[in-house]
C-alpha cells in the first residue's frame, strides 16, 4: 500500500479515478457519497477494478495526515451503503503511515457492468479533476455494456494444456461421464484436448479462465490475475476468535472436496414428538454445503479480485460469502419462481460446472436448501445481499424446536410464507408486497417496521406467551395505568410512568421507541383534557377527577 500511495502521489494531478482530500479530522458524508458515485462510474468506464479517495493529502499532494478513526470510517461506510444504488461500499479502507503521518486510502469498487452507481438518486461522473453529472453518453455506455461479454469465457493466449492439472483433468473425465452416461464409450477415445472442448471447458483448444479456475495447476493462477481463484476456510470459536484456517486455490474441481472435508460436520441431537429417543442429524446437510460452495464459485464476480470466504463457528454456524451482486434480486423471487434464472454472471463457467456435475440449472438449489432446513426444524438460511456481495449463513442447530416444528407443520403455510415469518422472527425488514401478503392471511400484526406473529400463528404454534410479550399492552391500557397512577398518587413524572410501563410495552420496540410511545400517550391524554403538565410533573385535570 505504501508503493501504491507513492504511485498516486507521483501523478501530475488528480484524475477521473483518483481524488486527494486534506480531511484532517472529518469529511462531509454527502460530498464523499458524490465522489464515490463519480469515481466508481469512471473506474467502470476506464476498465479499472477500483478508484481511490485519499484522506490526509492536499490537492497539491502535500501529505498532512488524517486523524479520522475507525468509528468515523464505519459511519462513512454505512452512509455509502445506505444511499448508493446499487448498494455498494468501500472494498477496504487502507491505513498507511507515510513519513510519520497517517494516510487513509478509500478503495472504491468499479460500478458493476450495466449498473451505473448513483448517490441519492443522481449519477455523478468526473471530467479530469472536476466533479459533475455523468453525461448521457457515459450513462448509456455503462447501461448498455455488452452483456454477452463473459469473463469466464475469455481465452488466455499464453496458457497451454500443460498448465492444467492432469489429476484434475482425469477427475473431470469421471464427472463428465457420470453426468453424460450416453457418451461413456466415446469418452474413452477422446484425448485431453478433445475432451476439454467437448465438455466446454476450453474453446477450440484455447485455455479459458474457466479452465484455469477448475483445472489449473496452483502455479497457473497468475494467468487470471488480477482475478484470483482463492477460497479461504476459517474456523472461529463462538466469540469470533480465529482458531484455524486454510487457503485453497485452483484446481477448484479438486479443492472443492478439500474444502468440504475441512468443515467439521458434527452430529446434533434433539427429541422428536411422541418419541423417547433423540433424533440425530448432521449439523449441516451435505447438499447444503456443496450447493452453497458451488454457488459461491459460479456466481463470484472475479473482476473484483476478491476471494471466496467460508467461516465456520464452533457453535454451529457456517457462512459463505462471495463478491458480486445477487442477480435474481431477491431470495423470495428465487423461491417463488417456477423456472431457473434466465442469466448467469459467468455463463461459460456455469455451463462447464453443469457438464462436470457440480451444479444443475433447474433453479431448485436454493429452494431445496430452505426445504432441508425447514424439515429439520433448523433456522432457515439467512442471506445478506448488500454491499455488492452475497453472504449466506447456515445454522446447524435448533434454536426453538417447539416453535420451528409447529410452524413447519401448519398445513396452510407455503414455504414462501414460512420464509417471511422467519424474517419477522429475525426482525428483518419486509417489503410492502410481503406485508400485504402476510396480513391478507392474518399471519402478522403490528405496524411497520415493528411486526410480530399474529395471534392465529401464536395459537397454532403454542407461543401465546411470546405473542403477548411481542404485542405488549395497547394504548388504551397504557393510558388507564397512567390515569390510575395519578388518581392514586396525585402527580407523576414521565420517569415514573416509564418505570411502570417500559417492560409492559411490545418487545419489538427498542427502548427509545418505548419511551416515545409513553410520551405520545401522555400527549393524547393531555389533548383529551384528562391530564395537565405542571413543569416536569403531570397531574389530573381539575375538571376530570376519578
Q: Is the pLDDT of residue 99 over 80?
A: yes
**CA–CA distance from 436 to each of 354, 433, 441, 445 (Å)?**
38, 5, 9, 11
Q: Which range (140-149, 181-190, 286-295) has the least confidence?
A: 140-149
Summarised one tens digit per residue, pLDDT across range 22-42 is 999 999 999 999 999 999 999
CATH architecture for the domain at 475-540:
Orthogonal Bundle (1.10)
Q: Is the pLDDT of residue 464 over 50?
A: no
Q: Is the pLDDT of residue 86 over 90?
A: no
Q: Is the pLDDT of residue 179 over 80?
A: yes
Q: What is the pLDDT of residue 342?
A: 55
Q: Nine-digit cell at 532?
A: 395537565
Confidence of residue 459 (pLDDT cuts 50, 70, 90): low
Q: Is the pLDDT of residue 293 over 60?
A: yes
pTM reported for the whole predicted model: 0.56
Kindly give the pairing relationship between strand 18-21 and strand 50-55: parallel
Q: Is the pLDDT of residue 335 over 80?
A: no
Pick the more confident residue, 443 or 141.
Answer: 141
Mean pLDDT of 41-63: 90
Q: Is the pLDDT of residue 138 over 50?
A: yes
Mean pLDDT of 463-486: 67
Q: What is the pLDDT of residue 463?
A: 47
Mean pLDDT of 214-219: 97
Pick the more confident residue, 542 or 544.
Answer: 542
Q: What is the pLDDT of residue 201?
A: 97
Q: What is the pLDDT of residue 166?
A: 97
Mean pLDDT of 138-164: 85
160-163 own/partner pairs: CB under 8 Å, 24+ apart: 160/207, 161/192, 161/193, 161/196, 161/207, 163/207, 163/212, 163/216, 163/217, 163/220, 163/223
Pick the more confident residue, 122 or 445.
Answer: 122
% of the chain residues with pLDDT over 90? 40
Q: Which range (8-17, 96-105, 271-280) has the least confidence?
A: 271-280
Q: Is the pLDDT of residue 422 over 90?
A: no
Mean pLDDT of 429-450: 74
Mean pLDDT of the chain: 83
Dihedral sign from CA coordinates of 291, 294, 299, 305: positive
Q: Is the pLDDT of residue 470 over 50?
A: no
Rounded Cα gap, residues 241 and 235, in angstroms: 8
Mean pLDDT of 199-203: 95
Confidence of residue 504 (pLDDT cuts 50, 70, 90): confident
Mean pLDDT of 368-397: 84
Q: Is the pLDDT of residue 461 over 60?
A: no
Q: What is the pLDDT of residue 241?
A: 92
Pick the more confident residue, 267 or 91.
Answer: 91
Rounded Cα gap, residues 233 and 223, in angstroms: 23
Rounded Cα gap, residues 344 and 322, in angstroms: 15
In this structure, which topology does domain 2-143 adopt according to CATH?
3.30.950
Mean pLDDT of 478-505: 86
| Domains of the chain, residue spans | 2-143, 403-471, 475-540
Of 335, 296, 311, give the one whose Cα is nearest residue 393: 311
Q: What is the pLDDT of residue 175?
A: 95
Q: Is the pLDDT of residue 482 over 70?
A: yes
Amino acid at each position: 500500500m505504501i508503493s501504491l500511495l507513492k504511485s498516486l502521489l507521483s501523478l501530475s494531478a488528480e484524475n477521473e479515478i483518483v481524488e486527494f482530500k486534506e480531511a484532517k479530522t472529518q469529511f462531509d458524508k454527502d460530498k464523499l457519497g458524490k465522489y464515490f458515485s463519480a469515481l466508481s462510474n469512471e473506474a467502470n468506464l476506464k476498465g479499472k477494478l477500483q478508484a481511490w479517495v485519499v484522506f490526509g493529502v492536499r490537492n497539491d499532494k502535500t501529505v498532512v495526515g488524517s486523524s479520522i478513526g475507525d468509528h468515523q470510517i464505519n459511519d462513512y461506510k454505512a452512509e455509502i451503503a445506505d444511499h448508493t444504488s446499487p448498494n455498494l461500499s468501500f472494498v477496504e479502507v487502507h491505513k498507511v503511515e507515510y513519513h510519520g503521518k497517517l494516510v487513509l486510502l478509500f478503495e472504491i469498487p468499479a460500478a458493476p457492468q450495466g449498473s451505473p452507481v448513483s448517490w441519492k438518486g443522481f449519477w455523478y461522473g468526473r471530467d479530469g479533476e472536476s466533479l459533475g453529472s455523468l453525461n448521457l453518453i457515459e450513462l448509456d455506455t455503462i447501461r448498455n455494456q455488452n452483456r454477452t461479454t463473459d469473463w469466464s469465457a475469455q481465452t488466455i493466449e499464453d496458457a497451454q494444456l500443460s498448465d492444467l492439472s492432469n489429476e484434475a483433468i482425469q477427475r473431470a473425465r469421471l464427472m463428465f461421464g457420470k453426468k453424460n452416461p450416453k457418451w461413456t464409450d466415446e469418452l474413452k477415445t477422446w484425448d485431453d484436448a478433445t475432451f476439454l472442448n467437448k465438455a466446454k471447458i476450453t474453446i477450440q483448444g484455447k485455455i479459458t479462465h474457466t479452465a484455469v479456475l477448475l483445472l489449473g495447476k496452483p502455479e497457473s493462477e497468475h494467468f487470471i490475475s488480477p482475478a484470483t481463484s482463492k477460497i479461504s476456510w476459517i474456523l472461529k470459536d463462538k466469540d469470533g476468535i480465529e482458531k484455524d484456517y486454510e487457503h485453497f486455490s485452483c484446481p477448484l474441481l479438486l479443492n472443492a472436496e478439500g474444502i468440504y472435508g475441512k468443515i467439521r460436520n458434527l452430529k446434533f441431537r434433539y427429541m422428536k414428538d411422541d418419541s423417547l429417543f433423540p433424533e440425530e442429524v448432521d449439523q449441516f446437510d451435505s447438499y447444503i454445503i456443496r450447493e452453497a460452495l458451488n454457488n459461491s464459485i459460479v456466481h463470484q464476480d472475479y473482476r473484483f479480485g476478491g476471494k471466496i470466504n467460508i467461516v465456520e463457528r464452533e457453535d454451529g454456524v457456517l457462512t459463505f460469502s462471495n463478491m458480486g451482486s445477487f442477480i435474481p434480486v431477491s431470495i423470495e423471487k428465487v423461491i417463488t419462481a417456477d423456472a431457473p434464472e434466465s442469466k448467469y454472471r459467468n455463463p461459460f463457467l456455469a455451463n462447464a460446472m453443469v457438464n462436470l456435475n457440480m451444479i444443475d440449472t433447474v433453479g431448485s438449489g436454493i429452494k431445496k436448501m430452505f426445504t432441508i432446513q425447514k424439515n429439520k426444524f433448523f433456522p432457515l438460511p439467512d442471506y445478506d445481499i448488500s454491499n455488492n456481495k452475497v453472504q449466506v449463513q447456515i445454522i446447524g442447530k435448533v434454536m426453538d424446536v417447539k416453535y420451528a416444528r409447529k410452524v413447519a407443520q401448519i398445513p396452510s403455510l407455503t414455504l414462501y410464507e414460512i420464509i417471511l415469518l422467519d424474517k419477522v422472527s429475525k426482525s428483518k425488514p419486509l417489503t410492502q408486497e410481503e406485508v400485504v401478503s402476510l396480513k391478507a392471511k392474518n399471519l402478522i400484526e403490528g405496524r411497520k417496521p415493528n411486526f410480530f406473529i399474529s395471534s392465529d400463528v401464536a395459537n397454532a404454534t403454542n407461543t401465546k406467551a411470546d405473542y403477548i410479550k411481542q404485542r405488549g399492552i395497547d394504548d388504551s391500557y397504557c393510558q388507564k395505568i397512567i390515569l390510575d397512577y395519578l388518581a392514586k398518587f396525585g402527580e407523576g413524572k414521565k420517569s415514573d410512568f416509564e418505570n411502570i410501563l417500559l417492560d409492559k410495552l411490545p418487545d419489538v420496540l427498542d427502548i427509545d421507541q418505548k419511551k416515545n410511545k409513553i410520551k405520545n400517550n401522555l400527549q393524547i391524554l393531555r389533548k383529551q383534557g384528562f391530564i395537565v403538565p405542571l413543569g416536569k410533573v403531570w397531574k389530573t385535570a381539575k375538571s376530570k377527577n376519578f
